[in-house]
Amino acid sequence: DAGVTQSPTHLIKTRGQQVTLRCSPKSGHDTVSWYQQALGQGPQFIFQYYEEEERQRGNFPDRFSGHQFPNYSSELNVNALLLGDSALYLCASSPAGSGGSYEQYFGPGTRLTVT
Amino acid sequence: GQQLNQSPQSMFIQEGEDVSMNCTSSSIFNTWLWYKQDPGEGPVLLIALYKAGELTSNGRLTAQFGITRKDSFLNISASIPSDVGIYFCAGHFYQGAQKLVFGQGTRLTINP
């Protein structure tokens, strides 16, 4: 049973560029959440997707956007990259029918470095 | 906003010792979750708690949901080298909340 997968593993971008990160949820999960984890900090919630719509959003600017596909996989897009966007980006999926996202299972993350 | 204060920030112990860490909030939380994160990896769910007063074990790990719903603790008994890592508490602020709020983490180091 495959867990949550993310791609790519590492990414280096230049300020002002745009980036797309991808996530495939755990089998049987229909809800995907994205988190940003700065070095030495706990993960911070970006947003969550359910039924191909953004269900809740954290305190992140509009430069951060996402999408969920019919197969429940998801993308995180970040435009106009800033140096401060350098972080580990984590995707988490939740079981179908949970009514929420109480138990979230994380992928290995994508390490984004902005230079 | 909702914040979780986790303590201690770091622990240095001998192999075989028991470990205790806790998480507190000024707000009531609806659920408490404990995760472990190894370097370069994503957090791994250890224990999930749903009811005030609930005490749940997972092998050598035991966690409790505080009666006031504003705190939780995690105990690890008879620590072993693979317990090394960063432990995070996390919770949902209210029923139906989608986002998990995380603590700052407790870094556990074990001397063999």
3-state secondary structure chain B: CCCEEEECCEEEEECCCCEEEEEEECCCCCEEEEEEECCCCCCEEEEEECCCCCEEEECCEEEEECCCCCEEEEEECCCCHHHCEEEEEEEECCCCCCCCEECCCEEEEEEC
CA distance linking residue B98 with residue A53, whole number of Å: 13
Probe site for chain B from A48, A104, A112, A113 (most B CB atoms < 10 A): A104
pLDDT at B1 exceeding the cut of 70: no
Q: Do A100 and B40 touch (CB under 8 A)?
A: no
Q: List per-residue pLDDT tens for chain A, 115 residues long.
A: 679 999 999 999 999 999 999 999 999 899 999 999 999 999 999 999 998 999 889 999 999 999 999 999 999 999 999 999 999 999 999 886 555 557 899 999 999 999 9
Whether A108 and chain B come into contact, CB under 8 Å, resolves to yes
Q: Which residues of B touch A44 (CB under 8 A)?
A: 102
CA dist A56 and A50 (Å) reads 9
Task: Identify the band that residue B96 occupies on the pLDDT scale cut at 50, 70 and 90.
Answer: low
Among B1, B31, B104, beta carbon nearest to A41: B104
Q: Write the DSSP assignment of A26-43 as a string of letters.
A: PTTEEEEEEEEE-TTS--
